[in-house]
Structure 1
Amino acid sequence: MDTDSAPTGELSPAPARPDSAATPGVLSAAPGGPHGDSLFEQLLDAAPDATVGVDQAGSIVFVNAQALRLFGYRREELLGEPIEILVPDDMTRAHRDLRKKYAAAATHRAMGSGNPLHARRKDGSVFPAEISLSGLQAGTGLIVSAAVRDISDRLHAEAERARLREEAERAKLQNQLQHTQRIESLGQLAGGIAHDFNNLLAVIINYAEFVTDTTAGHLPAGGDAEPWIADVNRDGQQILRAARRGADLTRQLLAFARQDVTRPEILVVADAVHQIEDMLRRVLGEHILLVTRLPGGCGPVLLDPGQFEQVLVNLAVNARDAMPDGGTLTIDTASVLADADYVSQCPQIRPGEYTRLRVSDTGTGMPREVIDRVFEPFFTTKAPGQGTGLGLAMVYGIVTAAGGTVGIYSERGLGTTISIMLPVTDRRPAPRTEADVAEPDMQGHGETVLLVEDEPALRQVCRRLLVAAGYRVLTADDSTAALDLARRQPDGGIDLLLTDVIMPHLLGTTLAEQVTALHPGIRVLFMSGYATPVLAARGTLDPAVRLLEKPFTRDQLRSAVHRALR
């Protein structure tokens, strides 16, 4: 039987001596021996483990029935043989040395429970074993009793359990990967849809404003206007409300797809929760108790404050709907250090310091099949017309775009907990200037704007709004026409390039570079409903880039143009 490290592996520790034959008077179990019918032999054969006795010379002096079955020998084939007959060939020399070392202190010793030893059968096969040694003092000297147990079945079972655990973990990781890939694919689709929707919504919103503004001018205070004027005004207001709701939906789609524009700021999560706590209580209603546990010491994070508010409001609304008969919503924060051990349990997170935000409700909870899909866009368990299925999708998009992770734990009848991990930043907030908070002048003063938009209806809307605001407007339907106009204008003849980002032939960013080369002092304002090409890493907007997000209103357009020109 082999060993992995000294002094394990020996069946007998006794030093060698010239006579190696078994002595009948030394606990011999041989048939016909003086003790062949002894009580000792009967007890030995009843033992569950294979037992072999070895004298000081290393010769086998007794074996039990279980040992004969385990090793495949007859009793007479083993008695008097050196113990190394049961040891693999490559371990016999080391085994002899270890026997001699053991003889100096022949105490009880169990071996092979950690790294198994090995023993050899008569047919030459080797099997893993655990061996327990005990020293016995007989009339002729030291006898070492070795209890040998074949652990092949146990090791096989352990290996099978390890294989099953590995397969389960691999299947879990594969499911996580497939889920992530499905979410990413849906995000790409959502981004493309949102771009076209935002162009259409920008047209609808502004033409609806034209209608409501015009009809409002014919609605006297006394109410003596023609009835149809009031009807048209109300219709325009309904169109505006529907269009703005559509704009909110596309904004949620882009947030999920991580393709919306973020303007991150240094944010202390506990402070941000406190600022909107009253609003959350109004959202939840009086039948739900809001509890906040916001200890100090959590590091600041880099996140768009408006998006953080959207995250909390959406989670609060979901929790409220899960507690129709009332309950408790708890919001708590904590600092978490994601070290190597933490990352090994949560491979989707990177090492570092995080602020954890948890939102827990005592509502109805969710089954596993729902949990697996809650972050998918348009997936909802609510009745038709009661939910868009974009709330948690938007939460997922906002948090992951900020470099964080979102986890969910839920059980039927026990409520739901959403855990958000946001990486702590070492940046510090920049001081705000008076210009940052001043109200912009909404009126132009004859400045020339080169407007580039490939959607005809939106181009016409923008031109109409800018002319009414006091600007001189040059229009182009694509980048080629825009470059031609820019070349024909004198140096300094264009004050602002207002261009869409996604256009045929050239992106708006490339067009801006070429127009700026022709007119070095020109200002640039991008407008887009799908702004990925002008965004920096993680969907943030470079401070040097000015962007007007579609769909926009009249006032938003005029304000953005004024700020770009100042």
Structure 2
Amino acid sequence: MFPLETVAAQLVEAAADAIIGTDQDGRIVLVNAEAERMFGYTRAQLLDQPIEALIPEPLRARHPRLRDGYVREPKPRPMGAGRALSARRADGSSFPTEISLSAIHTEDGILIVSVVRDVTDRVRSEAKFRALLEAAPDAIVGVATDGRIALVNAQAERMFGYPRDELFGQPIEILIPESLRPRHPAHRARYFADPRPRPMGEGQPLSAVRKDGTRFPAEISLSSIETEDGLIVSAAVRDVTDRVEADAERERLKAAAERERLEARLHQSQRLESLGQLAGGVAHDFNNLLAVMLNYTNFVAELIDDAAAREPDGAWADAAADLRQVIRAGNRATELTHQLLAFGRREVVRPRVLDLNSVIIEVEQLLRRTLGEHVRLHTELAPGLWPVLADPGQIEQVLVNLAVNARDAMPQGGTLTVHTLNHEVHEPPPGTTPAVRPGRYARIRIADTGTGMPPDVLDRVFEPFFTTKPKGQGTGLGLATVYGIISQAGGYTTVQSAPGAGTAFIALIPATDDIPEPATAPPARRPRPGGETILVVEDEDALREVTRRILTRSGYRVHTAANGPEAIKIAENHDQVIDLVLTDVVMPHMQGKDLADRLHTIRPDLPVVFMSGYAEPFVVTDGALHPDVNLVTKPFTEADLLDTLQRTLAGA
């Protein structure tokens, strides 16, 4: 075995730290190899030198007093109480160290052993850390396990308004709003039990409080640091006042933009409603005029046709041709008034339960002829499409109007796609005006690959008489009619378009649980009238007279009244035979529906036929003609009027 002294000497020599032994007078008596390397002296140069030779010159004067104090109480301890100390090399340079002291009692007295460690790398790292800490844009606050503040950077001073020294040792709750302080120790304890890096609040808004008591919104991220003094939890605090205010401003602007958009759509809806009322009123007056003009023209045309037949080489033939042009123009005017009424949702409709797929299939060949050879028609019809309650003629009109528009938007050719789909609305889509009611709908999407529309055109696309076509090539009523028909069916119409990207019209029509009705053959033509007596009630003198002429020409006996009270007086005279009442709907003094109710108290079984240019609320239910109401729509032809009267009398 090696002698103990030999082993000890070898351990000292092999130590990684510098070991220097001094006597109680401060003279160096022991040096190991690491001390020679660390300080740059040879062993011979250090032995018997005062220990102050290894201490920077500014610190030498007070060192003997510190040494004497240690000699008086020689127990192992670190020097500097955890602070890095400075030592001096042979070349005069200083470096940071950690020094631990211990005393060994020998025959010659006390041997003071200094274990010196060069901590240059650690101090450099700590300096970098401190520099980073001080330069951090966020406030950094370190908290010890007892909840007291142990670390503060410059940004924390600026953010919270406290000097650094005032924060050290304070409970972290001093920086937390007072209402949240009671719960915070429990949160802190949970984090110290599982100190993983993570944000506080998990996405919830957090607040901090400054020295002056003001609160501010903050983001806080937590991490942990192991130190010689134990675990330190580091909280990185970011003042997000600017971002919160920016977010609030962004939301305000977004809400304002959405409000403006909704107001614009509401104004558009109100404008369309107002235009619809105007269009309906205009159409009503025109229908009365057209009924008079067309029927009187037909009277004259019959006479001229007879004269032309007697004198085929005379001028009557040319006059007959001229009158046919007048009648053709009158019929065209009638179509325009019906389009106006459809837009204004005042058209008389006769809805039935429909399979929209069947309607599309029936009208497909007409659509192909309308589009022409340069436009391809593609249909995608969803199986099991929910049935709807609508007027089949009006749905066909929607399809044809949209096909005409699509054709005009694709002068060089393209594709028109008609697509159906079941569509269920659970919540109204945001921004729709009026809002789509929740429920089941059959959806028709009609999309073309044409030129598309800019936003200013898109905003007015459903307005009557608005058109981008050259003068004389469009009335501007096609899309207005589409809008009115779908609205009157209880549905909604939207359009999507952009220049160069084509246009898609989408219509939602409420679904019904009823089963589509099978197609029926038209009723057989009824025989000519048999001389019944008709009471005609019409406030327009010219229309009342032309109606009387039509009826008397066909063998009916006729009583006339200019208003409701006059009609009631006639009906109260039971000596007067009345087989049927033909009355206008809108009249002064008494409306047609009120007149019918009064007449039924006098003559309960008296059949009534209404005349109207548009669908009044007391004639229709939910936009549809009531099944018990007999109605002839203005402007009517002689054949339309007589056919309605014959059917009503036969049913009575």
The 2-side partners of 1:184 and 1:58 are apart by 68
**Residue of 304, 317, 338 corresponding to 1:230:** 317
1:155 is aligned to 2:239: no
The 2-side partners of 1:131 and 1:84 are apart by 14
The 2-side partners of 1:441 and 1:57 are apart by 104
1:272 is aligned to 2:356: no
The 2-side partners of 1:194 and 1:131 are apart by 69
1:63 is aligned to 2:152: yes
Decide whether the 8 Å contact of 1:447 with 1:472 is kept in 2. yes
Q: Which has the larger radius of gyration?
A: 2
The 1-side partners of 2:373 and 2:314 are apart by 42
**Residue of 257, 275, 285 corresponding to 2:344:** 257
**Residue of 618, 641, 645 corresponding to 1:561:** 645
Q: Superposed, which structure 2 residues align to 1:136-155 within 5 Å? A: 136-155=225-244
1:105 is aligned to 2:194: yes
Comparing 232-241 and 82-91, the one that deviates more: 82-91
Give the drift of 1:47: 2.3
Give the drift of 1:262: 0.6
Please tell me the residue identity of whatever aligns with 2:522: V
Give the drift of 1:225: 2.6
1:385 is aligned to 2:469: no
Decide whether the 8 Å contact of 2:354 with 2:517 is kept in 1. no
Two-structure CA RMSD over aligned residues (Å): 2.1
The 2-side partners of 1:540 and 1:525 are apart by 17
**Measured at CA, do residues 488 and 156 of structure 1 come closer, stay the same or move farther in structure 2, by a change above 3 Å?**
same
Gaps of 5+ in 1: 1-22, 28-33
1:506 corresponding residue in structure 2: 590
Decide whether the 8 Å contact of 1:113 with 1:130 is kept in 2. no
Decide whether the 8 Å contact of 2:352 with 2:517 is kept in 1. no
Decide whether the 8 Å contact of 1:26 with 1:140 is kept in 2. no
2:304 corresponding residue in structure 1: 215
2:284 corresponding residue in structure 1: 195
2:109 corresponding residue in structure 1: none
Of structures 1 and 2, the one scoring higher in RCO (CA 8 A, sep 6+) is 1
Give the drift of 1:429: 4.3
**Residue of 380, 387, 411 corresponding to 1:300:** 387
Decide whether the 8 Å contact of 1:512 with 1:524 is kept in 2. yes
1:325 is aligned to 2:412: yes
The 2-side partners of 1:202 and 1:478 are apart by 19
The 1-side partners of 2:619 and 2:430 are apart by 32
So what's the TM-score if we normalise by structure 2? 0.78
So what's the TM-score if we normalise by structure 1? 0.90
- Partner SS, residue 166 of structure 1: helix
Comparing 87-96 and 417-426, the one that deviates more: 87-96
- Partner SS, residue 469 of structure 2: coil
Q: Superposed, which structure 2 residues align to 1:525-544 within 5 Å? A: 525-544=609-628
1:334 corresponding residue in structure 2: 421
1:484 is aligned to 2:573: no
Q: How many residues align?
A: 532
1:180 corresponding residue in structure 2: 269
Deviations 1:197-246 (A, max 9, x none): 000000111111112211212233xx953532112211210110111111
Decide whether the 8 Å contact of 1:112 with 1:129 is kept in 2. no
Gaps of 5+ in 2: 1-79, 85-97, 99-122
Give the drift of 1:353: 1.1
Give the drift of 1:282: 0.9
1:524 corresponding residue in structure 2: 608
Runs of 4+ aligned residues of structure 1 deviating over 4 Å after TM superposition are 23-27, 34-37, 344-347, 429-433
1:452 is aligned to 2:537: yes
- Partner SS, residue 203 of structure 2: coil
**Measured at CA, do residues 76 and 549 of structure 1 come closer, stay the same or move farther in structure 2, by a change above 3 Å?**
same
- Partner SS, residue 279 of structure 1: helix
1:413 is aligned to 2:500: yes
1:240 corresponding residue in structure 2: 327
The 2-side partners of 1:319 and 1:425 are apart by 30
Give the drift of 1:268: 0.8
Decide whether the 8 Å contact of 2:446 with 2:504 is kept in 1. yes
Please tell me the residue identity of whatever aligns with 2:369: R
Deviations 1:384-441 (A, max 9, x none): 21111111111100001111100001111121111111111112345677xx732232
The 2-side partners of 1:244 and 1:275 are apart by 25
- Partner SS, residue 245 of structure 1: helix
2:49 corresponding residue in structure 1: none
Between the aligned residues of both structures, percent identity stands at 51
The 2-side partners of 1:286 and 1:100 are apart by 80
The 2-side partners of 1:442 and 1:207 are apart by 24
Decide whether the 8 Å contact of 2:355 with 2:516 is kept in 1. no
Please tell me the residue identity of whatever aligns with 2:558: V
The 1-side partners of 2:156 and 2:402 are apart by 68
Deviations 1:343-386 (A, max 9, x none): 44646211111111111111111111111001011111112211
Comparing 140-149 and 397-406, the one that deviates more: 140-149
Give the drift of 1:505: 0.7
Decide whether the 8 Å contact of 1:261 with 1:535 is kept in 2. no
Please tell me the residue identity of whatever aligns with 2:565: T
1:3 corresponding residue in structure 2: none
The 2-side partners of 1:73 and 1:308 are apart by 76
Decide whether the 8 Å contact of 2:262 with 2:431 is kept in 1. no
The 1-side partners of 2:324 and 2:613 are apart by 23
The 1-side partners of 2:399 and 2:268 are apart by 24
1:474 corresponding residue in structure 2: 559
1:39 is aligned to 2:139: no
Give the drift of 1:523: 0.8
**Residue of 169, 189, 193 corresponding to 1:80:** 169
Decide whether the 8 Å contact of 2:192 with 2:233 is kept in 1. no
Please tell me the residue identity of whatever aligns with 2:317: A
Deviations 1:258-309 (A, max 9, x none): 0110100111111100001111111111111111111211101111011111
The 2-side partners of 1:80 and 1:332 are apart by 73
**Residue of 578, 598, 604 corresponding to 1:494:** 578
Give the drift of 1:109: 2.4
- Partner SS, residue 180 of structure 2: helix
Give the drift of 1:85: 2.1
**Measured at CA, do residues 139 and 380 of structure 1 come closer, stay the same or move farther in structure 2, by a change above 3 Å?**
same
The 1-side partners of 2:167 and 2:136 are apart by 18
Give the drift of 1:116: 2.0
